[in-house]
Amino acid sequence: MSRFFRGCTIIWVVLRYGLDELVLSSFQHPWLHRLRRVLTIGRKLDAPRGQRLREALEQLGPIFVKFGQVLSTRSDLMPPDVAEELAKLQDRVPPFDSQIAVDTIERNFRKPLDEIFVQFERTPVASASIAQVHFAVTRDKQGVEREVAVKVLRPGMKTVIDKDLALMHMMAGWVEKLSADGKRLKPRQVVAEFDNYLHDELDLVREASNAAQLRRNMEGLDLVLIPEVFWDYCHAEVMVMERMHGVPISQTERLREAGVDIPQLARDGVTLFFTQVFRDGFFHADMHPGNIMVSLAPATFGRYISLDFGIVGTLTEFDKEYLAQNFLAFFRRDYKRVAALHIESGWVPASTRVEELEAAIRAVCEPYFDRPLAEISLGMVLMRLFQTSRRFQVEIQPQLVLLQKTLLNIEGLGRQLDPNLDLWSTAKPFLEKWMLEQMGPQRFWRELQAEAPRYAKLIPELPRLVHAALQRQQAADPELVQELLREQRRTNRLLQGLVYGGLGFVLGMLAMQVLTRIRLF
């Protein structure tokens, strides 16, 4: 029943803000235009279309807001006026009452606000779909004051998200049963992955641990700054971290006036993304402009500042190596290798002909190489890729959905910073170096070092373990053990013969050399 009422609410919001009119107006068929005029009778839809879409997404809740955030980074897919309006969803969602934030903080700390912070700004500096942020000042035991950012969870988020996810699970089940592509698209598994990430985002202690892990991973890279987390001030609904000073990355003109190399900033963003994905297998998965600033401080000038770590992605070693091989083959235009990898992984049926899949991939990708982002129509690429995947029954990989969403964010961000960015040539050297480290002697040496303590403990125990195993085997099957012993004796005699024969050969050669020298003398 709750899913029914939530569905009714969504339909009511769609009609109230005229989203049906926005969809119908994008088609050119005359009868659809006539249908649009009929449906809008009696409804006042004077507000600009971007504003109506933004307000509708805000009213529908956090899941819809996140969808709008992704769309806001894709000015190549959305009309400029709509993309500009949706950008307000990144950090300018209407805030909740500051007194509620104060009550939440005091409830979690079990102390009055004045005993927690030296100073607390009640007006939030940023407000998003899940939480809002206030600036404050803390004082440690030594009396040192620190500027901090206090993130407070929105009240009632779990209830709203659970209702939307229940509806999504139901619709995914329908798609899987009724659609011819249901099995291939795996809608229920995709929604389950989305479910996990959203619920993780509701626990700010988990977000704090994500920030701490990313901060450790990024040490020494000199490309990004991650705020320090103050664990004594972190709870499930409240997170306190270092206040970061920088300029929002969306303010490109201000950054350019300050002397920031914008094209280099775009290239650094690509390097940062691929480093987190392939080197660490742990990446920031919510990289829209509202979560990114750029430092103008002299010591860290031009570096990224990452914020909001509620959603992070992880990859297994298998996923990392498989994706890296795909990307590298793609950048080298080795489409046959890309096709073979898809078949080897089971993403497409084993009966698929490599040559046919190779030709299809080449037809999609080749027209877009050596072009800057400004000349690439992502909408056309996505449409052709979807057609190809359907033709060859390519299965969706739910564990990679978050990575694909982040890649869309990164490409959209790169497009905003530098439309002339060559995504392929920027990523290719990094992947080639990474693959060399993974497949070469460096990896062997790293794994040997990692396993050395276990080997050091195991090797002295091997004779005892072998003896015990043989005793157990003898008790279970005496004849097999006797046969193994006889085979071992034969092997020992053969080895002795080889050793003695080799020794005799060496001694014979030495004797011949000695005799030759004597004769010459």
**Which ranges in 440-477 belong to alpha helices (H)?**
441-458, 462-476
Q: What is the CATH number of the domain that holds 109?
A: 3.30.200.20
CB 197 within 8 A of CB 40: no
> Does residue 362 share a domain with residue 491?
no
Residue 106 lies in a domain: yes
- The pLDDT value given to residue 461: 66
> Does residue 416 share a domain with residue 318?
yes
3-state SS assignment for residue 402: helix
Q: How many Cα neighbours within 13 Å face the side chain of 124? A: 23
> Does residue 416 share a domain with residue 274?
yes
Q: Within a 10 A sphere around the Cβ of 8, how many other Cβ atoms?
A: 10
Phi, psi of 407 (to 5 degrees): -60, -35
Residue 464 lies in a domain: no
Residue 287 in tokens? 């990289």
Q: How far apart are CA 498 and CA 283, in angstroms?
A: 56
- The pLDDT value given to residue 520: 47
Q: How far apart are CA 302 and CA 255, in angstroms?
A: 9
Q: How many domains does the structure of the chain reveal?
A: 4
Q: Within a 10 A sphere around the Cβ of 476, how many other Cβ atoms?
A: 9
Catalytic residue list: 286
- The pLDDT value given to residue 481: 61
> Does residue 110 share a domain with residue 244?
yes
Which residues have a Cβ under 8 Å from the Cβ of 136 and sit 6 or more positions away?
Answer: 117, 118, 119, 120, 121, 147, 148, 149, 150, 240
Regions in the chain scoring below 70 on pLDDT: 1-3, 23-43, 73-77, 180-182, 184-185, 370, 373-383, 385-386, 396, 398-399, 438-452, 454-459, 461-478, 480-482, 484-485, 487-488, 491-492, 494-521
> Does residue 333 share a domain with residue 287?
yes
CB 238 within 8 A of CB 109: yes
> Does residue 62 share a domain with residue 113?
no
| Last-in-domain residue among 31, 63, 89 | 89
The long-range contacts involving 117-123, CB below 8 angstroms and separated by at least 24 positions, are: 117/148, 117/150, 118/145, 120/150, 122/98, 123/98
Residue 273 lies in a domain: yes
CB 45 within 8 A of CB 21: yes
> Does residue 329 share a domain with residue 409?
yes
Q: How far apart are CA 108 and CA 507, in angstroms?
A: 84
> Does residue 323 share a domain with residue 246?
no
The pTM of the whole model exceeds 0.75: no
- The pLDDT value given to residue 116: 93
Residue 237 lies in a domain: yes
Phi, psi of 92 (to 5 degrees): -125, 35
Q: Which domain holds residue 508?
A: 477-520
> Does residue 33 share a domain with residue 133?
no
Which residues have a Cβ under 8 Å from the Cβ of 40 and sit 6 or more positions away?
Answer: 18, 21
